[in-house]
Structure 1
Amino acid sequence: MESGTPGGSGPAEPGPRLRGLGGALQAQAQAEGGCCAPAVAAVLPAGGSGERMGVPTPKQFCPILERPLISYTLQALERVRWIKDIVVAVTGGNMEAMKGIIQRYQHKRISLVEAGVTRHRSIFNGLKALAESQPNSRLSRPEVVIIHDAVRPFVEEDVLLKVVTAAKEHGAAGAIRPLVSTVISPSSDGCLDHSLDRTKHRASEMPQAFLFDVIYEAYQQCSDYDLEFGTECLQLALKYCHVKAKLVEGSPDLWKVTYKRDLYAAESIIKERISQQMCVVMDTKEDEEHVGRCLEEMLKNELNHVKVMSGRDLQQVILEQCYNFVCVNVMTSDFEKTQKLLNVLDESNLSILYPVVVISVHFLDNKSIPFGRKMEDLMQIKELAREVKKRNILLCGLLIYYPQDEQKLQESLRQGATIIATLIKERDSGLIGQLLIA
C-alpha cells in the first residue's frame, strides 16, 4: 500500500463552505453519552477504464481545466475535516500517475491501494487496507466508512454528514435521487414486457456510508459472482448482514461523470463556481476619483451575479478564495502594478487547484500618450502572459479608450465590463496574452 501526504498548507477552495458540520458528529456523540465523534474514513474505487466514455484515458484522469477529474473529488472529501483517511484504489498502471496528482495538487490524508478487476473488488481492497494493520501504514480501522465514486466531484459536506449519521444509527445508508426516466423491462423478443411506476422507485447514488464492521463482513462473505458482477454496496449489506440501509435524499449535483459530454457539463459547473467574485486592484489611492473608479462602479452595476471586491488587502481576498482579478492601471502605462499582483498570486499558491484569471486594464487618452506609443508599451503582455501561464495564471489585457464625451465613456466602460465578465466566465486559454479593446 502506498500513501501520499505532502506537507505544507493547501491552496484555497472555491464556493460556499459549510461550517460547523464537523462539530455536528461530535455533538451527536456527546448527546448519546459518548465522548468523541466516530472515526470516519472514505474509500474511492478508481480503477475503471472509462469504456463508456469512449476515450483512451480513464475518465477519473480526464482533465477539466487541465486538472484531473479525480483531484476535484479528492478536494471535496479533503475539505471535510472529520474524514480522517481517504483510501483510493487505482490500477498498478496508474499508481505513479496517481502519486503525481497527489503531489502536484497537494492532496492530504490520501492512501493508495491496488484496484481489483471489478468495482466491488476495488472497494474490498480499500476496506482491507483499513481493517488490516500493515507495516509503515498510518491507517486505522474506522467506525464508519464512506464509499464514494472518484468521478462524482460535487459532493457536499451536508450530504456526507447525513449518510454518516444515518449509517451510525442504522448500520448502512445511501443517497438516492428521483428517477428521471421510466424504467421498462423488455421481453425476450425485444418487445415491452412491463414498466415500473417511476414514483415508487429511486436511483441509487453515492455517497454511501456503513458501520465498518457491517460492510467489511459483507464483503468477506461475498460470492465470486457478487464481486464480479455486482455494483450495489447497500444490497451486499442487506444480503449478507441483514442490514436495511437508510435512504437519504441527495442533491441534484451528485451525478456521475459517465460520458464525454459529462466532462463539459462538469467544466461548466466548475467555471460557474469560481466566477462568482472578482477583486479589483488599482494603482491609486482609495478616495481618489478617476476613470478606474468609474469602471469599478460599472462592474458592480452590470454584474449583479458577481461579487466585486476591492483589492486593498490582497491576502484577505486570496483567503476568501477569489480566482479573478482586475488590475486597473491608471497612473502608469506599463505593467508595474500588474506585475506586483502576479508576484503576490505566485507566492500564494492560489493557482494550484484552479486557473486564476488576471485582466490588466489600461486607459488610452490621446492627449497624454500617443496611440502608437501606448500600444507599443502594452504589447509586452504576450511575453508576460506566456511566463505566468506556467503557473496556471491566465493573463489578458484590456485597453479602454478614454474619450472626453461622457456618453461615449460610459459606453466604453460598459463594454469593458462585459469583456471582463466574459473573460472570467469562459477562462479561455486561447485568449492568453491578447490585448482587447473596448
Structure 2
Amino acid sequence: MDKDEDATEPVDFDVSVVLPAGGCGQRFGCDLPKQYNILLDQPVILHTINAFHRITWIKRVVVVVNKSFLPFMEQLVQDNCLDKVVLVKGCSTRHRSIYAGVKSLVKGEDKSSVVVIHDAVRPLIDETVVKKIVCYAKTYGASGVTRPLVSTVISPDDDGLLKESLDRSRYCASEMPQGFQLKVLQTAYEMSDDNDFDYGTECLLLAMKYTGTRAKLFTGPDNLWKVTHRKDLYAAEAILKEQNISVQVIFSSCPEDQDLLKTVLSQFRSKMLVVKENESSGSVSCNSAVFIYSHITNSAISENTQSVLKPTVDTNVTMETVLKPCIIHVCNGRKLNSEDTFEFMRIIREMTENFPDSLSFGILNFNIADYKKLSDMVTSLIWNRDSTLSGQTFVIHCNKNNRI
C-alpha cells in the first residue's frame, strides 16, 4: 500500500471494534473504575463508544465489561440507542477479555475481516487514524499506531543503581487503536499460553510471536493517550471542547451594537471557538452553541424566543452529541419593561424544563457600554457549560456612576 493510499481507499470490508472495559483503574485513585467516571456529562466509555459508533463503515462495537457493570452498560446502550454495540462479559486479565471479544465475533454469522482493538478510556479518536489502521491491517495482517518517546528510558539493577540507558531514537511508545485481520488475532490467541494471558499486554507482539505477522506501524497524533489518572479527565475535557465547540451567532442588525458584536466575536476566537455569523432570526444549523442578541421590547418575547430556540434544540440534541447544545440569549435590558423582563426570565427557565438535554442561559444587559464584560460572561458560559446554572438569567448592571 502506498503511504497515502489509505487516505482515499474506501473501506469496503467488514470492520468491528473490540473495547476491553473490564479494568478496575487502580491508578486512577477512585472506587469507580475510570471508564465510568463522568466527562462532559457522559461516562468516559460512552464518549469512546460514540466515537466509533458514528463512523459509518464500522459494523459493530464489542464492549467487554466486568460482570458487575453489565446492568449499567445494558441501560447505557438502551438509553443511547447504540444499535451497533454488543456487550460481552469480561475476564480476569486484559488479554483474556480481548479474546472473549474476539470469540464473540468469530461465533457471529457476519465474520469481520478486520478487528480494531482500542481502550475504553481513550475517548479522543480520529477517524483518519482508524481508517489508516484498518487499511494497513487488511494489507499487512496487523497494524499499530505509535508515538515518539518523550523521556529517556533507563534500567536500574537490583540495588537501584543505574544499569543502562536506551537510545530513545530507536524506540517508540505503542498506542491505540490497533488493527488485525480477524484470523490473525484469533490464531494468536488460540496459540497463547497462560503466561501470555496473565502477564502480556501487547496484542501486536502476540500476532508476531504466533503467526509471524509483523505489524505495519505509523506515527499518530498527540491525542492518543488514555485516561489513567484523575488529572487526565481535565485534559480530555479541554481537548474535546476545543474540537467540538462552535458558536452560531444570531445578531440584530443594529448599528449601535456593531462594536459589541466585534468584541464578542473577537473573544470567541481568542478561546479557539469556531464562529458562524447569521443575522437572520430564523432557525439555525446544528452547532454546539448558539449566541443570540436581540432587541425584544414587548410580550412577543415568548413567541420570538421559542421560534428561534426550538428548532435549534431539536436539531442539535442527538444521542451521539459530544457536548450538550448550549443556548445563550442576551437582551438589551434597557429596552425591556418590568413585564417583559420577568417574561424573559420565565422563558429561559422553561427552555431548560422543555429541553433537558440542552443548556439554556439568559443575560439581561443593562450596561451596554461595557462590551468586554458581556463578551467575557458569554464566553465563560459557553466554555464552562455548568449544567447546574442552566435555566438561570444573569444581570449585567450599569456602572455605579450610571443609573438604569
- TM-score (norm. length: structure 2): 0.87
Aligned position for 1:281: 250
2:182 to 212, 215, 225: 212
Q: Is 1:158 the counterpart of 2:136 in the alignment?
A: no
Q: Which residue of 1 aligns with 2:396?
A: 437
Identity of aligned residues (%): 35
May I ask how many residue pairs the two structures share in their alignment? 385
Q: CA offsets, 1:68-87, max 9 Å, x none?
A: 11111112112222211211
Tell whether the 8 Å contact from 1:167 to 1:211 is kept in structure 2 after alignment: yes
**Could you tell me which residue of structure 2 aligns to residue 122 of structure 1?**
97
Distance 2:281 2:243 in 1: 22
* 1-structure distance, mates of 2:281, 2:178: 42
Match of 1:357 among 309, 320, 326: 326
Alpha-carbon deviation of 1:189? 1.3
Structure 1 unaligned spans of 5+: 1-19, 27-36, 134-138, 403-408
Task: Confirm or deny: 8 A CA contact 2:6 2:132 kept in the other structure.
Answer: no
2:45 aligned with 1:25? no
Contact 1:381-1:396 at 8 Å conserved across structures = no
Q: Which residue of 2 aligns with 1:332?
A: 297
Q: Secondary structure at the match of 1:252?
A: coil
Q: What is aligned with 1:421?
A: 379
Give 1:312 deviation, angstroms: 4.2
Residue 119 of structure 1: how far off its partner (Å): 0.8
Residue 299 of structure 1: CA displacement?
A: 2.8
Q: Does 1:308 align with 2:276?
A: yes
8 Å contact kept, 2:250–2:280: yes
For the residue of structure 2 that corresponds to 1:253, the secondary structure is coil
- 1:317-328 maps to which residues of 2 (within 5 A)? 317-318=285-286, 322-328=287-293
Distance 2:78 2:218 in 1: 34
The answer as to whether partners of 2:316 and 2:325 remain within 8 angstroms in 1 is no
CA distance in 1, matches of 2:279, 2:64: 43
Conserved? CA contact 2:297–2:336, under 8 Å? no
Q: Which letter maps to 1:119?
A: R
Contact 2:63–2:86 (CA under 8 A) maintained in structure 1: yes
Q: Could you tell me whether the CA contact under 8 Å between 2:18 and 2:116 is conserved in 1?
A: yes
Deviation digits for residues 215-259 of structure 1, max 9, x if unmatched?
100001110111111100001001111111111111101111111
Alignment partners' CA distance in 1, 2:192 and 2:339: 76
Contact 1:173 1:208 in 2 (8 A): yes
Instruction: Tell me the equivalent position of 2:402.
Output: none
Report if the CA contact (8 A) 1:272-1:425 is conserved: no
For the structure 1 residues 363 and 314, does the alpha-carbon distance in structure 2 shift closer, same or farther, using more than 3 Å as the test? closer
Given the alignment of the two structures, is residue 384 of structure 1 paired with residue 343 of structure 2, yes or no? Answer: no
Q: CA RMSD in A?
A: 2.6
Q: Which residue of 2 aligns with 1:12?
A: none
Cα deviations by residue, 1:146-183 (Å, 9 ceiling, x for unpaired): 11111111121111121212212221110100112222
Q: What amino acid is the match of 1:418?
A: D
Taking structure 1 as the reference length, what is the TM-score of the superposition?
Answer: 0.80
Alpha-carbon distance in 2 for matches of 1:80, 1:52: 31
Give the Cα separation in 1 of the matches to 2:104 and 2:336. Answer: 68
Question: In the alignment, what sits opposite 1:181?
Answer: 151
Map of 1:38 onto structure 2: 13
Tell me which amino acid in the other structure corresponds to 1:261: K
**1:80 alignment partner in structure 2:** 55
Matching of residues 95-106 of structure 1 within 5 Å:
95-106=70-81
Judging changes above 3 Å, is the alpha-carbon distance between structure 1 residues 236 and 313 closer, same or farther for their aligned structure 2 residues?
Answer: farther
CA distance in 2, matches of 1:106, 1:297: 41
Q: Secondary structure at the match of 2:285?
A: helix
Deviation at residue 428 of structure 1 after TM alignment: 2.1
Deviation at 1:315, TM superposition (A): 5.8
